[in-house]
Structure 1
Amino acid sequence: MARISRDVFLEIAQHLDVKTLFKLCETSKEANMLLKTYERSLSQLRLANFPVPPTGDVLSSELYLRRPIKHRSFEMLLELENRKSRVKDILTASPHFNLKSPPGLGELTIPQQERLCALLYRAFAQCDYIADIAANTPCQLPEAQWYKPRFISWWIGRDVPEGFRLKDPYTNYSARPTQMEYIRNLSKQDCIMMYYLMNMMGSCFVKSREDWILSDPAFYERTIVFKECVLRHGSWYAWAHFMGNSEWEIMTVDIARIGMAELNRFEYGDQDAICSLQSVLIGRFNELHESPDNKTEVVQQAVRSLITANIDDSDDRDRDEEDQE
């Protein structure tokens, strides 16, 4: 460190991945102090690499627990990198999703698959952003103690007093109004891709639970709840279900039980039950598409257009240039 000027050291740090930055902090007290001093600025410069940069604190992705991580910190960058890796796993390594022929889009070329991956990555990032809303003002993120598995049985009851109901970290009613407002202001393209992502996640869930279809009378409702959990909790929940080990899968089942209880409370007309984020997304989609009768077909056509238009135009131009030559 003594042989390298501060400016050169910081320039090198700017081009390192987050895990290497953490290791660099451990090399010496001087390096650690310098990197911590410029942590916010170094982090801010990297946020442009993410499709939906967070504007505040983000949530951690731990087993059962989601604690706030400070904005523009190295730990936040590590969390964002982990999310990126999880989404890649879901889209390219999950046995339940075929990127070559995704639901309703037919056979895709490699460039089209790459375009679709980029759009779905952004859609997942939007879901993560919605989840992160809970970690920031004016929302009140429930304390870590309420995430403990022993409280799961509390949150699935319909008779929980309202004061305790508001402490449910997986439903998190305090964040719902702000999350709804965010969805109501989505752009047309973001709305299309998030709607398609929800349909895709529903299709993948059905494939992952095919052995439940005939024996589970509430299977349709479980599919709805799964999509709501992905929309509400983002890549953390989707990765845990499709790619996590048995502990992570049990967590998703527990959270889904809470979601089923919430759905039942809403259907039974409980006064303190708030409508789902999915219903708000559907409303936004209807608003932008004049309430189409067949939403699934409309969104599939829109996604097909997004992933083929520019690529097809480019291919046509290339062929024209070759013909001229």
Structure 2
Amino acid sequence: MATFSQDLILEIAQHLDAKSLFKLCQTSKENNMLLKTYERSLSQLRLANFPVPPPGDVLSSELYLRRPIKHGSFRMLLELENRKSRVKEILTASPHFNLESPPGLGELTNPQQERLCAFLYRAFAQCDYIADIAANAPCGPPGVQWYERRCMRWWGGRDLVEGFRLKDPYTNYPARPSQQEYIRNLSKQDCTMIYYLIDMMGSCFIKSREDWILSDPVFYERITVFKECVLRHGSWYAWAHFMGGSEWESMTNDIARIGIAELDSFECGDKDAMCSLQSVLIGRFNELHKSPGNRTKAAQHAAKYLITADIDDSDNGDQEEGEDQDE
């Protein structure tokens, strides 16, 4: 039986996706031991393929459950690749989002659509980063038992038992200060595209729930909560709602009920209720855009510029203009 050198196996491994790496591990005991020895370094090499490397451990994307996945593992790579696939599915296959004419951007050419996808993918990756903050010390994560569906009955109103409120993994108060600090330090471009993404997700949510508008007394609160959940939980939550099927959609509805309870408790002035991540994002957006009167239009205008302007030509034009003024 032909054998390959370890150097050749490692060279091949550098070019494989996570699923193929797992299959390569299964080809022989020797290959498995070799790849496990170099698992961390191989994983680190692949992180360059993702626009926003994770802060450490990452959260799994399971039904009603998010467990920490060790940083530098093949399973981490698999999770990141799955996120990328889910975002692509949301942007290209969802019946509620039209990439050719996205909200406020008009008709886009194919190159502009590709550029928009790249920006939105990075924005989703930023939301996933915010979610992953909760997987690392000192933020958590909460114990697996707090994800059990039997606890959902406690989350029906704002008068939650404090222990449940503090340990609820979908609210995740212990991670909130670190997540807020990350948002406060976003660059102008990242803040703009995250804001546009969240606003766009709100529009898609309305389209997916058009039959609720007249009959649901808290419909507009649901829009706010949905946008907060996408910002807080990232592509896991957005994919579950738009593409995941009935069980996943049921999960997002349960999480939304928790979000409405949290929103109600904050608006009623409960002393232990923290402000939302969305409010921090709005504050950062206002700061970077000098408190625009209409944030939605400002975000759409800025996003339109990013995907249509030739940045290199713009930079050269600014430089030439400055030289003319000097003369």
What is the TM-score of this pair, normalised by structure 2? Answer: 0.94
Listed as ranges, the matches of 1:1-325 within 5 Å are 3-310=3-310
Superposition deviation, residue 313 in structure 1: 5.5
- Report the Cα distance in structure 2 between the residues aligned to 1:104 and 1:312, rounded to whole angstroms: 24
- Report the Cα distance in structure 2 between the residues aligned to 1:107 and 1:148, rounded to whole angstroms: 45
Superposition deviation, residue 3 in structure 1: 2.1
- Report the Cα distance in structure 2 between the residues aligned to 1:311 and 1:91, rounded to whole angstroms: 24
- Report the Cα distance in structure 1 between the residues aligned to 2:155 and 2:122, rounded to whole angstroms: 31
Superposition deviation, residue 63 in structure 1: 0.1
Alignment-mate amino acid for residue 110 of structure 2: I
- Report the Cα distance in structure 2 between the residues aligned to 1:7 and 1:154, rounded to whole angstroms: 56
Superposition deviation, residue 17 in structure 1: 1.3
Which blocks of at least 5 consecutive residues in structure 2 are unaligned? Answer: 315-327
Contact 2:205 2:223 in 1 (8 A): yes
Contact 1:123 1:190 in 2 (8 A): yes
1:71 to 1:312, Cα distance in 2 relative to 1, 3 A: closer
**1:73-126 Cα deviation digits (max 9, x unpaired):** 000000000000000000000000000000000000000000000000000000
State the partner residue of 1:323. Answer: none
- Report the Cα distance in structure 1 between the residues aligned to 2:49 and 2:312, rounded to whole angstroms: 27
Superposition deviation, residue 55 in structure 1: 2.7
Q: Which moved more, 1:292-301 or 1:151-160?
A: 151-160
1:226 to 1:194, Cα distance in 2 relative to 1, 3 A: same
- Report the Cα distance in structure 1 between the residues aligned to 2:173 and 2:272, rounded to whole angstroms: 9
SS at match of 2:207: helix
**1:204-224 Cα deviation digits (max 9, x unpaired):** 000000000011111100000
What RMSD in Å do the two structures reach over aligned CA positions? Answer: 1.4
Which blocks of at least 5 consecutive residues in structure 1 are unaligned? Answer: 315-325
Alignment-mate amino acid for residue 61 of structure 1: S
SS at match of 2:142: coil
- Report the Cα distance in structure 2 between the residues aligned to 1:2 and 1:161, rounded to whole angstroms: 64
What is the TM-score of this pair, normalised by structure 1? Answer: 0.94
- Report the Cα distance in structure 2 between the residues aligned to 1:107 and 1:37, rounded to whole angstroms: 50
Alignment-mate amino acid for residue 219 of structure 1: F
Q: How many pairs does the alignment contain?
A: 314
SS at match of 2:240: helix
Contact 1:69 1:75 in 2 (8 A): yes
Contact 2:154 2:161 in 1 (8 A): no
